[in-house]
Chain A
Amino acid sequence: MNDVTRRRFLKVGIGATASMVGTGLIAQAMGAQQETPTPTGDEYNEHGAHNNMSEMLMGTVDHERNGFDPMQMLVDWDWGTVSTDSNGRTVREYQVSAGDIEIEIAPGIFFPAWAFNARVPGPSIRCNEGDYLKIHFSNYGTHPHTMHFHGFHTAEMDGVPHVGRGEILPGEDFTYEFDADPFGCHLYHCHATPLKRHIHKGMYGSFIIDPKAGRPPAREFMMIMNAFDTNFDGGNEIYAVNTVGHEFMQRPIPVKVGELIRIYLINIVEFDLINSFHLHANFFDYYDTGTSLQPTLRLVDTIMQAQGQRGILEFHFRWPGKYMFHAHVSEFAELGWMGFFNAVQPEDYASALAEAGLDEEWDRKGMQGGQTV
């Protein structure tokens, strides 16, 4: 099916406003004719509803069908394939492909995405300052795409239309090459025309360059604040970190009391002017764009990001318990961008992992990008 035209006709249904006066009789008359409906899940009958918190999205998303899991994306770093060139310099090579994929962005709601490596957000590309990077990009999609990295590089490697190779057409490929510079919390995204659509369809990912000196040991999470305009009316219907609305409300992220937590936070939300991150019952240090080893903000509990802005948060929990984090744009929070940390004592961590359906591998990958310190 051609995803481009898939919803062109659906506008018919939009704006079907209700008459303020209605009928019970019709409903009954029609009810008599209808076939036995297929139940779509326990959560929609009386019993299921009471098990759920009522003030959020209902049900669960099939991450297996999607092929990616927001919880895994927190710690799932792509360090590339490493080699050393003749000068003894580390070279990292990454394979990235663009394609069309339907993803479930909230329980029961499907979005025709354009994606890097069949996931939204795309792979979390990570490297060390000074590495030489080769990103082998192939376009298997139905539209021209590019990869535009935020960082130092030549104009030919900028991934914008009409410069260098410009847009990479369907079926074509290209290798972006540049130095990993400067260190920080960056991002990449498609810069093909029309830019707005290529971004809100899902073509973005994190690009993290670690400083040569390293950062203090911490549990690290990658969070991209994104949103989806499901009816293509220029406004978002679902907000989230890592795509799936309210995912971390249902599955709080397990962390240990007292350990340093570092979040690489990126805002890519289209259409809305700002997004924000608010942490409950806590304060954090903030490193704007991550390009400095000194915090640019100290002891704050809310920061604001425009589209493309990003930074690093560092904090620890003093006491065990469930602590909320969400956009302090209440509307976004109630449309999906809201979650919980589950802070537990170190001795309780194993059971907290099990409760969230996670294993030791997830725990390991979360520590310092999964690299041995």
Chain B
Amino acid sequence: MSTQTTTATTPKGLSGSVWLLALIPLLLLGVVLTYLVVTGGGLSDLSGPPVEQITIQRITLPEPGIIRVEVINDGPETITIPQIQVDDAYFGFTADPSNTLPRLGSAVFTIPYPWVQDETHRIALVSGLGMLFVGEVTAAVETPSPSLNLFTRFGLIGLYVGVVPVFLGVLWYPFMRQLGSKAMNFILSLTVGLLVYLAIGTWLDANEFAAALPAFFQGVPLVIFIALISLGILLAVGSVQKDSESTPLGLAYRIALGIGLHNLGEGLAIGAAFALGQAALGTFLILGFTLHNITEGVGITAPIVRHNPGLKHFALLILLAGGPAILGTWVGGFAFNPVLATIFLAIGVGAILQVVWEVGKLVARDSARLNMPLLNWVNFSGVVVGVAIMYFTAFMVKF
């Protein structure tokens, strides 16, 4: 103990012996772990029955007569899948690399099964203890394989639901420039309203993906932390420029980024739905998204009404907000990844909350200039109208 105090008082860098002291708990930890593994730590009587758990990641139908199931073992122990039922009947299969999955291990099961177009199929993986892990194909269609034609069509979908509505919304810019301060406050409040709606929607989407993740990812905490971290980073970046308030154009870009991440999520969902044959109402759905997203253009350009940044910036803003929908549709359609989807959407939540804060401050400042309280009828009805527009146009895309 005495050596510890002397070295602690030495101001110069840590010597080797001090590092050794830091290692002692780790070495002891190693001893304890070894003891537990080797002897069972006197707890062997407590060991319960084996726990089997796997998560079905994805079911694809690569060709007629073939079902492919991607599985990850997120349970605490190795698991073996000796049999597979399809629609309550046992079928042979092959497993790659093996039908025995170590913890965190994954496998692809290929089952020759004459699946029926547009019909529902239920696949149950049966473990050695007879547990069933069930996945469902709601409407069987051949999983699209990447082709130039499909790539183009998915890109078009992204264009219609992302870029086109944002572009149309931005066309309100000349009109907004003619508005008085009060009306502009209404528009900014409306922007807050629609952003709040988007934050909630993105939050729910993120959690939907998170719920399907293997248990060890801890989906919901993952979404919360990533959203908080991205909010924190964006707020910290904003507060660095202390004196000069963040420029209106900068704010517009941040709004576009938040909306872009939201649209990425929409693109992912649409692409995945098409890939899995769940988009029977394809055109109607796209129409709905186009209408739903048109106010996003208003939100992006609201902060820059008094400072026309020029056409180049408008083009970039539209691309930043709408473009990710194209990217999302491609990824969702061809190579969907729920982990990345969850992370991107969680970042989107943080990004949108940050611009809610910034546009809110803008509204507060303008209200103060007009000698109005922050919560006046103009601002309040602006927020309500913003939420209401998003809510009711979403009727066309939620089912």
A238, chain B: closest CB distance, angstroms: 8
Q: A49-B94, A107-B82, A110-B130 are in contact. Are A33 and B104 (CB under 8 A)?
A: yes
Instruction: Provide the B37-61 mask, 1 if CB < 8 A to any CB of A, else 0.
Output: 0000000000011111111111100
A59: chain B residues at CB < 8 Å are: 82
The answer on a CB contact under 8 Å between A13 and B338 is no
Q: A44-B99, A231-B130, A231-B132 are in contact. Are A57 and B51 (CB under 8 A)?
A: no
What residue in chain A is nearest B90 (Cβ atoms)? A57
A18: chain B residues at CB < 8 Å are: 55-59, 69, 134-136, 212
Whether a CB of chain B sits under 8 angstroms from the CB of A335 is: yes
Residue B337 contacts which of A10, A14, A25 (CB distance < 8 angstroms)? Answer: A25
Whether a CB of chain B sits under 8 angstroms from the CB of A37 is: yes
B135: chain A residues at CB < 8 Å are: 17-18
A58: chain B residues at CB < 8 Å are: 82-83, 90, 92-93
Stretch at the interface among A1-9, A188-196, A258-266, A291-299: A1-9
The answer on a CB contact under 8 Å between B92 and A23 is no
Whether a CB of chain A sits under 8 angstroms from the CB of B80 is: yes
A35: chain B residues at CB < 8 Å are: 102, 105
Instruction: Provide the A196-231 mask, 1 if CB < 8 A to any CB of B, else 0.
Output: 000000000000000000000000000000001011
B343, chain A: closest CB distance, angstroms: 12
A50, chain B: closest CB distance, angstroms: 9
Residue A37 contacts which of B100, B127, B211, B214 (CB distance < 8 angstroms)? Answer: B100
* Segment 16-43 of A: residues with Cβ below 8 Å from B: 16-27, 30-31, 33-35, 37-40, 43
The answer on a CB contact under 8 Å between B83 and A108 is yes
Instruction: Provide the A320-347 mask, 1 if CB < 8 A to any CB of B, else 0.
Output: 0000000000010011100000000000
* Segment 220-262 of A: residues with Cβ below 8 Å from B: 228, 230-231, 237-238, 245-246
B93, chain A: closest CB distance, angstroms: 7
A7, chain B: closest CB distance, angstroms: 6
What residue in chain B is nearest A56 (Cβ atoms)? B90
* Segment 188-231 of B: residues with Cβ below 8 Å from A: 209, 211-212, 214
B260, chain A: closest CB distance, angstroms: 21
- Expressed in whole angstroms, the Cα–Cα distance for A53 and B83 within the complex equals 14
The answer on a CB contact under 8 Å between A23 and B339 is yes
A106: chain B residues at CB < 8 Å are: 82-83, 90
- Expressed in whole angstroms, the Cα–Cα distance for A54 and B72 within the complex equals 24
Instruction: Provide the B65-90 mask, 1 if CB < 8 A to any CB of A, else 0.
Output: 00001101001000010110100111
What residue in chain A is nearest B134 (Cβ atoms)? A17
B124, chain A: closest CB distance, angstroms: 9
Listed residue (A21, A30, A37, A231) with the most chain B CB atoms within 10 angstroms of its CB: A21
Whether a CB of chain A sits under 8 angstroms from the CB of B378 is: no
Whether a CB of chain B sits under 8 angstroms from the CB of A372 is: no
B95: chain A residues at CB < 8 Å are: 44-45
* Segment 129-180 of B: residues with Cβ below 8 Å from A: 129-138
A317, chain B: closest CB distance, angstroms: 27
The answer on a CB contact under 8 Å between A20 and B276 is yes
The answer on a CB contact under 8 Å between A19 and B104 is no
The answer on a CB contact under 8 Å between A109 and B57 is no
A52: chain B residues at CB < 8 Å are: 92
A108, chain B: closest CB distance, angstroms: 2
The answer on a CB contact under 8 Å between A13 and B51 is yes
The answer on a CB contact under 8 Å between A334 and B90 is yes
A107: chain B residues at CB < 8 Å are: 82-83
The answer on a CB contact under 8 Å between A20 and B59 is yes
Whether a CB of chain B sits under 8 angstroms from the CB of A357 is: no
- Expressed in whole angstroms, the Cα–Cα distance for A246 and B91 within the complex equals 12
- Contact-residue size bin, chain B (C-beta under 8 Å from the other chain): 35 or more
The answer on a CB contact under 8 Å between B49 and A9 is yes
Whether a CB of chain A sits under 8 angstroms from the CB of B181 is: no
Q: A23-B337, A27-B106, A246-B90 are in contact. Are A111 and B59 (CB under 8 A)?
A: no
Whether a CB of chain B sits under 8 angstroms from the CB of A46 is: yes
Residue A331 contacts which of B88, B338, B341 (CB distance < 8 angstroms)? Answer: B88
A85: chain B residues at CB < 8 Å are: none
Residue B133 contacts which of A16, A45, A336 (CB distance < 8 angstroms)? Answer: A16
A348: chain B residues at CB < 8 Å are: none
What residue in chain B is nearest A57 (Cβ atoms)? B90
B340: chain A residues at CB < 8 Å are: 23, 25
Whether a CB of chain A sits under 8 angstroms from the CB of B299 is: no
A12: chain B residues at CB < 8 Å are: 51, 53
A110: chain B residues at CB < 8 Å are: 128-130
Whether a CB of chain A sits under 8 angstroms from the CB of B360 is: no
Q: A21-B336, A30-B106, A55-B92 are in contact. Are A1 and B49 (CB under 8 A)?
A: yes
- Expressed in whole angstroms, the Cα–Cα distance for A320 and B272 within the complex equals 54
B339: chain A residues at CB < 8 Å are: 23, 25-26
Q: A9-B48, A34-B105 are in contact. Are A230 and B131 (CB under 8 A)?
A: yes
B394: chain A residues at CB < 8 Å are: none
What residue in chain B is nearest A47 (Cβ atoms)? B94
Whether a CB of chain B sits under 8 angstroms from the CB of A67 is: no
A37: chain B residues at CB < 8 Å are: 97-98, 100-102, 105
Instruction: Provide the B115-128 mask, 1 if CB < 8 A to any CB of A, else 0.
Output: 00000000000111
Whether a CB of chain A sits under 8 angstroms from the CB of B393 is: no
The answer on a CB contact under 8 Å between B90 and A19 is no
Residue B82 contacts which of A7, A21, A108, A336 (CB distance < 8 angstroms)? Answer: A108
- Expressed in whole angstroms, the Cα–Cα distance for A10 and B49 within the complex equals 8
The answer on a CB contact under 8 Å between A108 and B59 is no
- Expressed in whole angstroms, the Cα–Cα distance for A25 and B334 within the complex equals 12
The answer on a CB contact under 8 Å between A237 and B130 is yes
A227, chain B: closest CB distance, angstroms: 12
- Expressed in whole angstroms, the Cα–Cα distance for A260 and B347 within the complex equals 76
A16: chain B residues at CB < 8 Å are: 53-56, 133-134
Whether a CB of chain A sits under 8 angstroms from the CB of B108 is: yes
The answer on a CB contact under 8 Å between B53 and A13 is yes
Whether a CB of chain A sits under 8 angstroms from the CB of B112 is: yes
Instruction: Provide the A89-125 mask, 1 if CB < 8 A to any CB of B, else 0.
Output: 0000000000000000011111100000000000000
What residue in chain B is nearest A10 (Cβ atoms)? B131
Q: A10-B49, A27-B70, A108-B80 are in contact. Are A21 and B58 (CB under 8 A)?
A: yes
Q: List 30 A-B residue pairs with CB atoms under 8 Å apart, sorted by A's residue number.
A: A5-B48, A6-B49, A10-B51, A10-B129, A13-B75, A13-B133, A16-B54, A16-B55, A18-B59, A18-B212, A20-B59, A21-B212, A23-B57, A23-B336, A23-B338, A25-B339, A27-B57, A34-B105, A35-B102, A44-B98, A46-B94, A54-B91, A54-B92, A106-B82, A108-B82, A110-B128, A237-B126, A334-B88, A334-B89, A336-B90
Interfacial residues, chain A to chain B (CB-CB below 8 A): 1, 5-10, 12-27, 30-31, 33-35, 37-40, 43-46, 49, 52-59, 106-111, 228, 230-231, 237-238, 245-246, 331, 334-336
A17-B134, A53-B92 known, 8 other contacts, Cβ within 8 Å: A18-B55, A21-B272, A21-B341, A22-B59, A23-B57, A26-B339, A55-B92, A110-B129
